[in-house]
Every structure is written in C-alpha cells, then in structure tokens.
Amino acid sequence: MGWKPHVTMTFRPSRMAATIIAFAMALLCFLNLTAALSPKALRSFGAGHRMTSVFEFDDGSGFVANLELITGTEIYGPDISPLRMIARYDSDDRLHVHITDSIHARWEVPQDIIPRPDSSSLVTHVKERDMEHSEGLDPARNDRQLQLSYTVEPFGFAITRTSTGECLFNSTPPIRQDSGEPAFNSMVFKDQYLEISTQLPRNNSLFGIGESTRPDGLRLTRGRLYTLWATDIAAYKVDVDLYGAYPFYMDIREGGATHGVLMLNSNGMDIWVGEDMLTYHVIGGVLDFYFFAGPAPLAVIDQYTNLIGRPTPMPYWSFGFHQCRWGYETIDEIKDVVANYKKANIPLDTIWNDIDYMDAYKDFTFDPVRYDENTVREFVKELHANGQQYIVILDPGISVGYKNYSTLERGLKDDIFLKNEFGNNYLAQVWPGPVYFPDFLHPKASSWWTQEIADFFDKVPFDGLWIDMNEASNFCTGSACSFDTLTLGMGKNDSDNDRCLLHCVNGTSRFDDPPYKINHVGTYDNLGVKTIAMTVKHYNGVLEYDAHNLYGLCESIATQKTLRDVTGKRPFILSRSTFVGSGAHTAHWTGDNKATWEDLKYSIVSVINSGMFGVPMVGADICGFAGNTTEELCRRWMQLGAFYPFSRNHAALGTNSHEPYIWESVAEASRKALGLRYRLLPHLYTLMFEATKSGAPIARALFFSFPKDLNTLAINDQFLLGRSVLISPIVAEGLTSVNAYFPKGTWYNLFDFSKIVSTGERRMLPAPADSINVHVSEGQILPMQEARLTSAEVKKTPFTLVVVFSADASASASGKLFVDSGVDIEMGIQDGSSTFVQFFAERSLHSGSLVSRVIAGNYALEQGLVLQSIRFLGVSGPVSDVIVNGERIVSAEQLSYDARLESLQVSGLSLLLGRDFELRWAMKELRWATQ
C-alpha cells in the first residue's frame, strides 16, 4: 500500500476563499521537508504501523481505529501490535488522541489522580466506516477549533487549526530532500519504549516542558534534549531534570496564534526539540495526547487547567512575606527573628520551621529540649494574636530506628508502606536514618496520614505544611537494603546524615536499567539512584517505575484533603516535587538554589514556567539557599522576591544568616519593595481568584498580554503580575540602571507615577540601591490598600483605586476586586461570604467616568470595606467638576491635579465597596448638570 494522506475538509460556499486557504495550509502538513534528527532517534525502527479499521462514535465526537505493525525491530525490545487509537473531541477547543495496546491494559495516570473524561467508555457505541475515503476527524460543528487527519500507511496523524488550516502537530514523517528517506521514525510502540515525533515550523516559539533551571531563558532551545524525571538535585544545576515533570508545551506562531500540547504520561521521558521537529522518547505507559486550540496564550492555559485541575485557592495571608532558615536551632532563636522583623519595621506574615524542630528528624515530633512542645504552642498562640502564621516541614520518610514511635506503629498496623520486590517494607534512608515510605496510592494511607496530622495539629496548631524530599529522595540506592544497630539513632539533627549507612543490593532488573536510557541528571545510571528502587511496588502491584513522577502529587492530594478535614480552613501546602495537576492541590517553590546572581536571574524563568504549568503560587528562595549571599545580592533579590507570588527568604544550614534586617541597606530596600507588595495584596489576591477560575498565572511572561509583539518572546528578566503590572528587576552585580522592555502603550511607575510612552522598545531606567522598577500599563484599574507589617492589618485599611488611561484622545480602563475572609475552604462568589467588584472607566478630551458593578455585596458591607481615594493617571488637564453618585464634590481638599504626572487625585470618598457607585468628572471648560 502507498502513503495515503487524508485531509479533513468541510466546504461552505460563503467561506470558499477561506476554505481554499485552509485546504492549502492543511496539505502543507504532509509536504516534504528536511528535519534535524535527535541523536537518540537515529536508529531505524522499521516501517511503523498501518491502520486496518475505523469505527465512528455514534455521537459523532470521534472514532476508534485499529493499528497493526508493518515491520518492526528488536531495538529496545519487541514491538506491541495490534494497537488501538481513540481520537475524540472533548470540547470545541480540546482534542484527545489516545494510543495503547488493544489487547493488554497498560499503565497510565490513574483517573482518581487526575480526573478526566474516559473515552474508552464510548468504544461500544461505534459504527464501522470506510477508512480509505473518510476525512479523519471532521469539526462538523462550526465552533470546533481543531481537526484531525491521518495517513493509513505508514500511520500518522495531523492536527490543524480549523479557521486557518495551519498544521499544529503532524506525526507522519516527511521525506528528506537529500536522501529520499523519512526525516524521522514513524510511531514506535514497545513495552518500555515509545517514540513519536511531530514536524515543527522554523519560525515558531516553544515554551514549557519542565521542570529544569533554564539559563537559556523561557523559550525552548532548538537542538536540546529535555528530560522529565523527578529528581532530588539542587536547582542551581542547570539544564537537568529537577523535582517535577511536565510534558506540556505551548507553541506560539507568527501573529501570536498559540496552541498547547500535553502528553499525559508519568513515565520517564526525553523530549528532543530539533530545528524542525520534536520527538518524545518515553520508557513506558501510553501515548495520551491532548491538544488545546487557544488561540491566545491565556486561552491555552484555561483549556489546559480545565483538564488537569484548576489551581487551588491560597489563603490570603500566604501572599504576605515569609521567613525560613534551615538552622534555627531553638524556638528562642525563632522568637528573636520575629521580634527583629518588627523592630526593623519590615513586614512578616509567616515564620517557618525547617527540620530543626524535630526530635531526631522524626515526623510529627518536637525536640523536647530545643523545641519544647508547650513553648512552641505558646509561641504560635502569640503569632496568631499578632495576625501571623507558623508553618512546619514534613518529609515522607518515616523513621524505623526508634521504639515507641506511634506514627510508625500505626503505619505498620495499616500496612501502608511501599514494598520491595520480595514483599517486605521497602527500606530507605533520609534525615532520620532508616525509613519506610508511605504509599500514597494505598487506600488506607490517606486516613493514616490524616490521623497523624490531626494528632500533630492538636499539639501545635500550625497554619500550613511544607512537604519536602518527595521525589522521593533517598540517600541510598538499592532494590533491597538493611541496617545494623550502629545505624540506629543517626538522626540526631546531624547535617552529615546524607551519607548512606544502609547495606543495599543494587537493582539489576529491566526496570532499574531499562533498554532506553533517559538523560537522567545529564548522565545515565540506574534509574533508582538516590530514590525509590524501580521494582518497588505500590498498592495493587503498581511499579515505582511507572508511578515515580507521581509521588509528590499523590502526597499533595492526601495532604490537602487532610488539612481541609483537620483545620476546616483553606489549606496552604508547599510541595517540592510536582506533576501535571499539582497546582490543584499545592503551591511550589523552585528548590535548592544558590546565592549567586545567576540563580537570581534564573528564578524569573522558573517562576513563570511554574505558572504556565498550572501552579501559580510559586517563588524561589530569596537571597539564595546554598552558599553565602552578599549585601548587594540580597538587597536586589529582596526587591525581586517581593513580587514573586510566593515570597519567602530561606537559607541553608551552615550559611551566613541573611534575614533582610541583617544589613540596613537591605532593610531599607525591603521596606520599600515589600511596602508596595502589601499595598498590592488586593490585586494579588484577585489574581488568585482568577487563577482558580481560568488557570491564569499570577506571574506571567510578557507575551501573555502582548502575544503579537514578537519582542516579548525573548524577554527573560522581566515579568507581569496579572495582565499589566510589570516588574523590571536588577539581575546583575554592580548595576544602578535597568534596560527594561516596554510593550507598546503608556506605562506609569507605581512608586512615583512617572510616565513612559512606548512604541515597543527598551528604556534605560535608573535603579538606585533602594529601588526596583514596577510599572502599570494603560487600561488597568488597580485596587490597592495601605502598607502594614502583616496582611491582617492591611485588610483593615481603606482601598485606593489607580486608574490608568492611555495617551489617546479617548481611552478606557477596567479592573476587578475579589474579597472574602481569606481562609474559607472555597474561593467563589457567594453572597454573605465574599464580594466581587468590577470597575469600568472612560475618558475623553473633556470628561471622564468611573463606575463599579458589585456582585454579592453583603460581605463587603458587613466588613465595612470602603474606597477612600482614586488616582486617575492620563488626565490631560485640571478638573472643575467631580460628581459622585449624583453629589458634587466641592471641597478643594478632596481634589488635586498634578500636571507633570497628568494625575487627578480624588480623596476622602468613603464609598462603600459593597454598593455600586458612579463618578464623573469634567474639565474646567465643562460642568455637569446635577440631577
């Protein structure tokens, strides 16, 4: 049989011209081109597969196809045949392609971990159709944005955009012009090796695929291999697999049209990004693709998080500033830190404890001398009285080296620990010494975990949990380990506990040493190095080989449920290891960075990527975790970190202290930067609310707001909070100015309201030692409050609106505000427990207006929330008339105009935020008639 392209077409006379263009572009999916080959794709794997039959779903939403091997090879093991493919529209903007063994069930991400539509349930409701003359998957409804076509032999499929016919993904190999050979392999499907490629245009930009530290910046680099394998390795190690795994990317084409691709697979994989191709090399599972139509970047994230889970709401207080250190040896030392923050007049909402507080590093314990339980409880009571919080760390490893350790005893009784290949509890080593790991796939593990946390909470009412070391990290490597009595008691809060003291047998199975070697930590070794052995079994026989990348996510799910049950409040959880869907349960930080200028700069890309993956509450360790920072570095990092969504200063054991009050220059810079952050808390919290509804990142790359501006695709050292607050930090030593890029429009500095009108260009701006550049763009109405030392105090202050107009003769602006208690489990608009306000403003040459529209206003009324002042930016002259809700303002003290800033300030309003209001103004030559 020959190569047969099948291109979906739907002709409509009224759209004939567009249809012809779409048809031509769709054909380009199958034209020959030259592709750069991945170093790991050079081997030929036979002739691929052919399609043997097609069955259409009765509801017209997709089809099931059977595939058989044409010819294969024994490279990486025998091929699997026959295969089954399901292609289906999940929605008008999402298309799902699932390929697996048609006879034997294979591992895939469980439905209870990431709930999603199950297309296999429709397989019994099908009818056979003529595959030779069918049109693939046709968007029969006009509003379906994607279409699928396929080749019969060798089998391949292509995804195109319905409106333009542009090819977005094509797995059929083109023919190389120089050799006449296929440019890449047809699809390969073996037990421990899956390979599939797609053609790429040379003028697109790819973003995503993580987690790793990216010195090259946000945009994926052509000619690079990206490895996905959850690994405990310091984040200052660049271009290697880190703590999380995200097989998701966004593709931005010329003109800004964007789509997304998720390959939902938890097995280890390499993803090669070539000059004009992208190749997946996966060591197990299934090919499970989801295609998101966009076409705007924010629309892609909306569609992606609609599938994998919307970000979980974070408590209001968590947007305040946090302080942590590995090395606070006593509770008295922590008390001094909190007192020093207050003395230095630097905001602090939450104090954290690293593993120092534990008794011999055992989970759910306090050291009886250094962290006496009663003393800690009284301290936490004082924190709560001051509107502050307390968070502690938990590691998953449960110590087995001590008698009468009730957490271990209850876990043994419920039999919830991971098992080695011989059926015994799997022994590993972390900070307490010998440990067992809970199996969070076990149905009894959640109730055991809940009981342990509940008992711990009864001792000390902490406000959140930090789950660390959950890749899972293991100081030993081996499929079966044992210990002797000399190992017992090693967990005596000794920082040298990371030497393996167990006696281990290294795994030699096909799972520990699979036939295809992913580029794990840059050089291949046993997959189980410094983690759980690949032959270890979870509940129901699930292998660690398959579930490894899910460990942190599963622990996050269990912890979130537990905190909801135990506290009755909105949980705050910070997890190191994450996977697709983790944002629905936890916040994240970028891991163990270092006190270097490079790490400061890298953090921006890492934070943006996390938000893109669906985890918007993210930050990096401010001033650097490892190594000794300098005064200048810490000052600049405090300025940058003040605008991370999650803002925490954190240092490692053995490093010099770098709390911001240590140096006066850092303290001064921190007061200024954190002061603005705390004034912006209403904006940050409203962005959190939006994230829970649409997945929109809090910290965003500039291209999210300006996708048609190609310059924004290369901006790696600036970011936006929401759609229009631009952060332009200093990222290199010795600089007192910043060369910042400003997309086209009018921008105002949020510190002094100085103006920049940009055509889409870089501007050199002063950045003295105590300052960071923060600007807001035209079209934004920004809700703000007053700076205080805690978020609880900020909530009591009146609101201000900053309304930003463009320089055009006629301009408009809009904004939103969401308020609630900040701790209710749900974060939604509900009368009596929250209030949502939309603001709309317009301005002409002679007049302007601002109105609010309130939904569920009772909460704001009950809380007495008031709008005290409004600053209008971009008003070209003084006003003579301001009318608020029909009443003219006559007091000159309430009105001020600054011609230099083009700023109109209206003060002393005391407007209730829970009620609609209308404000109008006129220039001096025009007066409004009052009603």
Q: Quick count: other Cβ atoms within 10 Å of Cβ 770?
A: 16
| Residue of 251, 367, 395, 592 marked active site | 592
Residue 196 tokens, joined:
């599939």
What are 644's two structure tokens? 């991370």
Distance CA 498, CA 501 (A): 9
What DSSP string describes 225-268? EEEE------TTSBTS--S-BEEEEEEE-TTS-EEEEEE---S-
Residues 257, 261, 265: CA angle, nearest 5 degrees: 170
In angstroms, what CA-CA distances link 390 with 196, 317, 462, 717? 48, 11, 5, 32
Amino acid letter, residue 422: F
Encoded tokens for 200: 């790429």
- Nearest-Å Rg of the Cα atoms of the chain is 29
b/e burial code for range 52-62 (CB count within 10 A of at least 16 → b): eebbbbeeebb
Residue 455 annotated in active site: no
- 592 included as an active-site residue: yes
Structure tokens at 832: 């009596």
- Catalytic: which of 166, 251, 439, 468? 468
Q: Is 808 a catalytic residue?
A: no
CA distance 512 to 534: 5
For residues 418 and 425, the answer to whether their CB atoms sit within 8 Å is yes
Residue recorded with tokens 């890309």 = 605
Cα separation of 248 and 716, whole Å? 19
Amino acid at 231: T
Per the CB < 8 A criterion, the answer to whether 642 and 635 are in contact is no
CB 698 within 8 A of CB 721: yes
Give me the amino acid identity at 882.
V
CA distances from 439 to 150, 411, 443 (A): 41, 10, 9
Place of tokens 């190389």: 176
The one catalytic residue among 56, 241, 349, 471: 471
Strand, coil or helix: what is 447? helix
CA of 360: how far to CAs of 182, 406, 604, 783, in Å? 60, 15, 36, 47
CA 83/CA 348 separation, integer angstroms: 57
Give 641's strand partners.
Answer: none
Would you please indicate which residues are annotated as catalytic (active-site) residues?
A: 468, 471, 592
